[in-house]
Amino acid sequence: MPDVHAKLSASGAKRWMSCPPSAELESQFPDKSSEYAEEGTFAHSLAELILRYNNKELTKKTFTTRLNRLKKDHYYSPELQEYIEDYANLVWEQVNEAKVSCPDAQALFEQRLDFSEYVPKGFGTGDVVIIADDLVQVIDLKYGKGVGVSAEGNPQLRLYGLGAYLEHSMLYDIQRVKMTIIQPRLDNISTEELTVEELLTWAETEVKPKAELAMKGEGEFCTGDHCRFCKAFAVCRVQKDRQMELMKYEFAEGDLLEDSEIGDILSKLDPLVKWAEAIKAYAFDQALSHGVHYDGWKLVEGRSNRKYADEKQAATVLEEAGYQDIYKLKGFTDMEKLVGKKRFAELLSDLIIKPEGKPVLVSEKDKRPELNKAEQVKDEFSDDDYDCAREMREYKQAHDGSLGGPSY
């Protein structure tokens, strides 16, 4: 499960450890869920159910009832279940391996892992914790299929490991901590193992001082890959300076760019494009949800595509008019070419509808009338219609909790 609402969360540790003041800056922005996050949460629920059943914590009847309930969920698919079963099998291999050396090995699921000894109010949730003799292992499921995430030096995983050690060190003589990420959709398994001494040294010398700075909103702003998942990314001034710096370029003489210059420019474009998209998404969201007005810009109804109100009836009308099989062709433009624009309209105008377009933020010069008030826009478009905005907002969460992003 994601580490929601913790200011210094484990999932955001890469960011706040690299840029301590980002924690304070981020607290000015609301938490936003996303379909990716919700799908990740669902995948974790299914994983927990399967693992608890494997661990004989549930009867077959309870397991089946709960599984059937999950199967009715919007996010359920047989494909998702297959991935999660693969993940559960991998977890079970680790549990069995632990039991070979230690028959009393324990497997715990969805454990709250408290590391507040080092990070104020710091806690996370360990998907799986296995304790066997002198070894504690945490396993983290990441359901996204974005980039592969390494466990090596990963602060999120290390904080989970730290929490697991602190939780169980009273009862067990733990000497080693193993941290594993499993990404079933990417076939990625990554592991780091540290001695307890190494982990505690890292926590004392790296985590603690940075957490103290982050809590106070102090320290140096620092840009880097960790910015991708920062809520302040679009409007962070240091980020703006970095982007401007990246674009500084000494051009050669001549009317046309050299190939070598184009190559150099291309290598700088990706971060710039991501930043530009983040600003567009931020401005759109502010205009749509909060009625913010930006000089020279306005919200209008976006374009939408025509569709048949009733496909079967449209096919019948065309067939009765002598156009046998023609309806199988897709696309209105092709149909108009074949039937003739005028005739097509005569036959089918009553059966063609044009849904309302989703709002878009455009230049004031655009001829379409402005959708004035945020309330009006909200009333006219249901939540489902916000997919476009959501897609823009969520590109940065797409996914996988890499580099300090959400852990789904």
Two tokens, residue 386? 């916000």
Considering the complex, state which of residue 25 and residue 196 has its C-beta at the smaller distance from ligand SF4. 25
Contact assessment for residue 308 and residue 329, using Cβ atoms and an 8 Å cutoff: no
233 binds ligand SF4 (CB under 6 A): yes
Among 8, 130, 177, 236, binds ligand SF4 (CB under 6 A): 236
Among 94, 154, 239, 397, binds ligand SF4 (CB under 6 A): 239
Two tokens, residue 19? 């840029």
Tell me how crowded residue 90 is: count the other CB atoms within 10 A of its CB: 15
Element holding 299 (H helix, E strand): strand 297-301
Considering the complex, state which of residue 142 and residue 226 has its C-beta at the smaller distance from ligand SF4. 226
Two tokens, residue 372? 């004035």
Q: From the CB of 20, what's the least distance to ligand SF4, in Å?
A: 9
Considering the complex, state which of residue 279 and residue 315 has its C-beta at the smaller distance from ligand SF4. 279
Distance CA 269, CA 23 (A): 27
CA-derived radius of gyration, the chain: 27
- Of 112-120, 232-240, 254-262, 372-380, the segment contacting ligand SF4 by CB under 6 A is 232-240
210 Cβ contact partners less than 8 Å away, ≥ 6 residues apart = 16, 17, 20, 219
235 binds ligand SF4 (CB under 6 A): no
Considering the complex, state which of residue 23 and residue 51 has its C-beta at the smaller distance from ligand SF4. 23
111 binds ligand SF4 (CB under 6 A): no
Two tokens, residue 237? 């001034």
Taking CB under 6 A as the rule, which mask of x and - marks residues 195-224 in contact with ligand SF4? --------------------------xxx-
Q: From the CB of 238, what's the least distance to ligand SF4, in Å?
A: 5
Q: From the CB of 46, what's the least distance to ligand SF4, in Å?
A: 33
Two tokens, residue 67? 């599984």
230 binds ligand SF4 (CB under 6 A): yes
Q: Using the structure block, give the residue that is written with the tokens 């505690």.
A: 200
Among 50, 84, 179, 227, binds ligand SF4 (CB under 6 A): 227
- Residues of 65-77 as b/e, b for ≥16 C-beta within 10 angstroms? ebbeeeeeeeebe
- Of 17-25, 76-84, 276-284, 327-335, the segment contacting ligand SF4 by CB under 6 A is 17-25
14 binds ligand SF4 (CB under 6 A): no
Q: In one letter, which amino acid is 363?
A: S
Q: Using the structure block, give the residue that is written with the tokens 């023609």.
A: 326
The DSSP code sequence of 318-341 is: HHHTT-TTGGGS--HHHHHHHH-H
Considering the complex, state which of residue 199 and residue 232 has its C-beta at the smaller distance from ligand SF4. 232
Q: From the CB of 119, what's the least distance to ligand SF4, in Å?
A: 17
Residues found near ligand SF4 in the complex (CB under 6 A): 15, 19, 22, 25, 221-223, 226-227, 230, 232-233, 236, 238-239
